[in-house]
Amino acid sequence: MHRILAAILIGAAVAVAPAAPALALDDGLALTPPMGFNDWNAFGCDVSEELIEQTADLFVSEGLSDAGYTYVNIDDCWALKDRDPATGRLVPDPAKFPSGIAGTAAYVHGKGLKLGIYGDAGTNTCAGYPGSLGHETLDAQTFADWGVDYLKYDNCYNQSDGTQADYVRRYSAMRDAIAATGRPIVFSICEWGTTQPWTWGADVGHLWRTTGDISDNWPSLRGIIAANAPLYPYAGPGHWNDPDMLEIGNGGLTPAENRTHMSMWAMMAAPLIIGTDLRSASPETLAILTNRSVIEIDQDRLGQAGKVVSDANGLMVLDKPLASGEHAIALYNSTDALATVGTTLGGTHPWRLQDVWTGAVTQARSHVEAAVPAHGTVVYKVRPIRDPGPIAPSVTVGGAIGTVTPAAGIPLTTTVTNRGVGPLGDVSVSVGAPAGWIVTAATSARARSLATDKSLVTTWTVTAPATVTAGSYPLTLSTSYTWSGRRRSSTASTLMASVVTPPPGGTRYLSTVRAADFTNASGPIELDQSNGGAAPGDGNLITIGGHVYTRGLGASAPSSIRYYLGGECSTLTTDVGVDDTSPDGAADFAIYADGVAVATASVTAGAAPQSLTADLTGAAWLLLSTTGTGNADWAAPVLTCGEAGPVQPVERTLFSFEAGTDGFGIANADGGGSVEPTTAFHTDGAAGLLVHTPVNGNWFGRALDAPLDLTGTSGLKFDMRVETAGSVGEIAVQVGDAFTWCQGGQWTWLNPGDSRTISRSFDEISCPSGTTLDKADIRAVWVYLNTGGNVAIDNVRAE
C-alpha cells in the first residue's frame, strides 16, 4: 500500500489559478471544453455518412446530447485523393458521403448538433489525402460553405523546418482563413505537443493537443495524464489543453481505468471527445460517458483545470475550483496496487465530501482521503459545513501485501483510519479471500474506539493453495463500526494480490517472463528496449557498444528485478552493459540466486557487452541487480527451466538484407522513394536496409517468388530506426491468386534517431470484404513509410 497526504488550503472562497495566457480568440467559442465524438479511435479510415448520421441519432436517443455532447466529428479519409481539377477544392468521397459533407452537416444540424471535420497543416493528411498547406483560404471557405462547426487540424507531411515559428505560422494561416469566412468554427490544433503549443496556442486555436496519439491501453493513458496534468495553468475559457480523444468503451481498459480516464479528463478540463462505436456501446460505457456529476466538473464555467497539489510515487492529487465555490478533489493512483491517497483541507470547519461516481456523502475533519484501487481515481466534490452530526464519517480501509507464492504464508497489513469528526466505536476489520485461501490475524482486528485521524493497524498471514495459478486475486478488506452513538456503517476496499508461479519448462527470453517486482532509478523496467526515462515505452532498442539487441530488459541503475523460480530452473545467460544512450554511465551487474551472487560484471559506457552465465539450480528466487549510474541493460537474457529447447518465442526471419536489398522495392512506381543496403543499422547479421521515403509515402517490400506459409504465427515484426524524420506507417500483405491487399496496424511518428521493434498482429490487418487473410498463402509483404526522411529497417520476421 502506498500512502500520500499532501497539504493544501482550500476554503469557501474560489481559489485563483496560476496566470494563464490571455484569451486571444475572443469569439465566444469553446468557453467550456468541447464535447462530442470522433470516429478515428474506433474506425480509422472506415468513416462514412451513414456512420456519422447513426452517431448523431444515438447522441439524441441515448441521452448524450442532453449530457452536453454536441460535436459529431469526421476524422481522416473522408475525401478523394485528388482535389477538383477545375476549382482546386477538396472533394468528399462520393462512395463514403453520397450527400457530401454539406448534406451530412444538414442532417447533423437537424438533430440540434454540430459537425466537425479533419484537415492537415501539411501537403497531405496522415492517411495520404490532400492537406491544406498552401490552400488554407480555399479550404476554410469550403468548410464554411459546407456548414462545418469544428476543425481538427493535424500535422503530417508538414514540410516544416521544425521551429516553433514555422508551426505558429502554419496554424495561424488556417486561423486567419477561418476568421475570414465569418463562420464560427472551433479550431483544434493537433500538432502532438511538438513545439509546446500550450505556450502559443491561445493566440491561434481553441484547443491544442499536448501529446502524441492516445492508445487503448493503460501505459498510454498513464503517460498522457503525467504529461498533461502539469499544464493546468495554460487552460481556460476558449483555450484548452487537449490530451486526445476518449478510449472509453474500446475494450483495452478495465472498468477502473475507464473511470480514471473520464475522471482525469474532467479534472484537467479536457475536451470530452468520444472515440468508441456508440452503435454497440454497452450500458456501462454509456453510464461512464454520461455521468452528469463528472461532466459538470469538466464543463464548470469557471474554466480552471485542476491544479496538481501533489505527485509522488505514482500517486497524484488534483484540486479544481468550481464556480459554485466548491472544489473537486481527485485522488489518482497510477500504481499497480491499492493505495491510500489523500490531502489536507484548510480551515477550522469540517467538510462535506460527495463521491461523484457513487453519490455517497461523508464528512471529514481535515483530510479528504480514500483507498484507491490500482489504476483508479476517486473524485470528491467538497465544501465546508457547520454541523457534521447527521453525516456518516469518512473511513478508509487500506492494505498492503507482498508477492504471493503457492502454499507460502505471506504477510498482509490492513489499516483502518477514521477521518470523520468524532470517534468511531466497536471497530472491526476482516479479510475475504478466494476459496481455498487461508487468512489468519496475527494482531488484533478490533478496537473499542477510534478517534479522529487515528488508525487500527492489523497484521495477517495469507496462504494461497499449492495449486494456485499465476495471476491477480481479490482480497476484500472490510471494516464495520458505529458512529454518532448507535449508528452502524461499514467500508470496504479490494486489494489485488499478485501470485507468481515458476516459469513454464523450456528455454525462453526472460523479457517474456512475469517479474514478481522491481525497483528502478527512472521509470519502469522496459521490455525489449532501453530505459528512456520516466514514461513507459520511451526507450530505443537496447544498444551496447554499437551492438543492437531486439530482446532484453532496459533498466536505469540502481535497479533490481525479482523473479520467482520455485526451484524449477537451471541457467540464465545474458549479455550486460551500459546502453549507448548513457555515454557517461558505469554500472555493476549482479545475478543472485536465493540471495547469493552467482555472476557479476562491471561495465563502463562505450565498452563491449559482457556475457554472464548463472547457475540457478534449485533456486526459489532470481534477482537481477544493478548499481552505479546510467541505463544498464540485460541484453538477450535467456532462462532455462526444466528441459532445454529452442528459445521461445520462436521467430522466423523472412528478410534479413544480408545479401543486399532482398528484392525490396516500391509498390507505386510514380510514388517515389528508393532503397539501398546499409551497415549503419542492423539487428540481424551485419547489414540492414536504408529506405529513402517520399513525403507522400509509399509501400516498400516485394512480391514473393512462391507463396509463403505462415501458419502457426501470430504476426509480423521488423526492427526500425528513424534517421532524419518521423514516420507514419502500416504493414500489409497480399494474399491469394488475386494478390489481394490486406493492411493495417498503423503506427505514428517516431522521432529522429529513435529505434524499436514494430510488431503487429495479423488481427490488426484488415482485408477487403469477401477476402480472408489466409496465412498459408502470403504472396507479398509490404511496409508503408513516409514523411520524406530516411528510415533504416532490418530483420522482417514472423513470430
Burial class (CB in 10 A: 0-12, 13-18, 19+), 770: exposed
Residue tagged 462505436 (cell numbers): 277
Q: In what order do the strands lie in the sheet with 424-432?
A: 446-450, 424-432, 471-483, 487-499
Q: Count H helices and E strands in the chain, helices first.
A: 10, 51
From residue 40, give the alpha-carbon distance in Å to each of 73, 565, 691.
9, 44, 28
From residue 579, give the alpha-carbon distance in Å to each of 565, 682, 791.
28, 16, 22
Q: Are 765 and 783 in contact (CB under 8 A)?
A: no
DSSP SS3 for 625:
strand
Out of 139, 213, 684, 754, the active site residue is 213
Provide the β-strand partners of residue 449.
Answer: 425
DSSP SS3 for 316:
strand
CA trace torsion 161, 162, 165, 168 (10° rounding): 110
Q: Residue 129, Cβ neighbours under 10 Å: how many? A: 20
Backbone angles phi, psi at 624, to 5 degrees: -105, 125
* Strands of 201-305, DSSP E: 207-209, 240-242, 272-274
Confirm whether 27 is a catalytic residue.
Answer: no
Distance of CA 280 to the CA centre of its chain: 23
Provide the β-strand partners of residue 542.
Answer: 549
Candidates 276, 248, 242; CA nearest to 262 is 248
Is the peptide bond between 524 and the residue preceding it cis, with omega within 30 degrees of 0? Answer: no
Candidates 213, 173, 200, 283; CA nearest to 44 is 213
Out of 75, 76, 139, 154, the active site residue is 154
How are beta strands 150-154 and 114-120 bridged, if at all?
Answer: parallel
Burial class (CB in 10 A: 0-12, 13-18, 19+), 348: exposed
What's the full length of the chain, in residues?
Answer: 799
Confirm whether 154 is a catalytic residue.
Answer: yes
Question: What is the set of active-site residues?
Answer: 154, 213
